[in-house]
Amino acid sequence: MSAEEAVTPSSSESKPRSARRGWLLRVSVPGMMVLVALVAGGLVVYQRYIQKPDDRLTIVAAYGKPSPIADGVIGKNEYGAPVSISWTEDSMLAAFQEHLIDPTKSLIPGDSSTAPIVVDPTKSKTPADLSLVVYAAYSDKSLFLAFRVRDQFVDADENDRTNPEYNDGVEVFIDGDRVANDFISDPGNGTVRGSSEGFQLLVNAAGHRKTIASDFTDVDWKATAKKTDDGYLVEMEIPLALIDTKDGAAYAPAAAGSLLHFALAITDNDAEVSRQTSYAYLRTSAQTASPWIGREGAWSFAIKLEPRGLLPLW
């Protein structure tokens, strides 16, 4: 027997080894795919149910495909789980701004900075007079927010188009970078300015809008308002590209998994007037100022763009 023959296995010996190697390879590929799926699933469960990146009360925006439509109609399965809010006497989250201005009595007509301050004694309202259900969802391009407001009297005067805050309406405050240095008073003229990192959007019951942000205007986002039998409904579509989640010069638009600081306020007039007679908002035990007065430091709630699901297996 030659040396070559001595070290070369017979065909009967080599087949089982080759078969075993092939069998191991066939098991390892699907096994790896299963492992990746399990890890991805565990990550989703952790992000959705276990992880607590913030102690804030959080509204979850579900991923919608097909995308929701801000058309003033809340369709079936268009949004995630709704959140109900009321301003009843026993509510721990409800508050009213006590001091308001009355621009109808301004010393200089049309100049609200000369308007006197009036006191609103309102501490609570019945659900029929003021309550709402909040819905949230997002698509590949936009964040959608919907508000079904119960209100026994709706002030939606077209004469207040240039001052939409004087009608009944919903105000949202979004702090994308979660750093309280964007929504500030302009030292030049005393007005408030925001940016894509922290801004305010308003939609009133007549569909009039207002944007407080230096990086975009009313034309860059969409909204619809419709009166209902027991109040009104507002839907907003905010492009994710308008929400900057990075502080400073860096830029990163909101996306799946983003946590955005958030606040909510509502003007609720019980008569047709050209001013705010009642300004309701959400608060916490540690934060009592309104989101307008307290600025970003008072935006004490959050919106979480829910992770979409399992990671792709490739």
pLDDT average, residue stretch 216-230: 97
| pLDDT, position 7 | 39
Pick the CATH number of 56-305 from 3.40.50.2300, 3.20.20.30, 3.30.930.10, 2.60.40.1190: 2.60.40.1190
Return the H-helix or E-strand segment holding 145: strand 142-150
Q: Are 138 and 144 in contact, with CB atoms under 8 Å apart? A: yes
Amino acid at site 171: E
Decide if pLDDT at 219 tops 80. Answer: yes
User: Lowest-confidence range among 66-70, 218-222, 255-259?
Assistant: 66-70
Q: What is the mean pLDDT of residues 108-134?
A: 93
Which one is predicted more confidently, 161 or 17? 161
CA gyration radius, the chain: 27
d(CA 305, CA 137): 8
A 10 A CB-CB count for 217 gives 11
The arithmetic mean of pLDDT across residues 266-270, rounded, is 97
Q: Which residues contact 73 (CB under 8 A, 6 or more apart)?
A: 226
Of all helices (H) and strands (E), which one includes residue 192? strand 192-193
Mean pLDDT of 84-105: 94
- Strand pairing report for 58-63 and 131-138: parallel
Weakest mean pLDDT among 53-57, 228-232, 234-238, 302-306: 53-57
pLDDT band for position 206 (50/70/90)? Answer: very high
Instruction: Label residue 311 by pLDDT band (50, 70, 90).
Output: very low
Give the mean pLDDT of 129-154.
97
pLDDT tens digits for range 164-203:
999 999 999 999 999 999 999 876 666 899 999 999 999 9
| pLDDT reported for residue 24 | 44
Output the pLDDT for position 191.
83
Residues 199, 183 contacting (CB under 8 angstroms): yes
Q: Is 272 helix (H, G, I), strand (E, B) or coil?
A: coil
**Averaged over 279-284, what is the pLDDT?**
95
Mean per-residue pLDDT, 250-278: 97
- Looking up tokens 């300015």 gives 193
Give the pLDDT of residue 189. Answer: 66
Asked if 169 and 204 touch (Cβ cutoff 8 Å), the reply is yes
Average pLDDT over residues 141-151: 98
Q: What are phi and psi of 121, to 5 degrees?
A: -80, 0
48 versus 131: the higher-pLDDT residue is: 131
Strand-pair category, 198-204 with 222-228: unpaired
Residue 169's nearest CA partner among 212, 201, 213 is 201
Cα–Cα dist 227/283, whole Å:
27
* Residues present in the chain in total: 314
Percent of the chain predicted with pLDDT > 90: 71
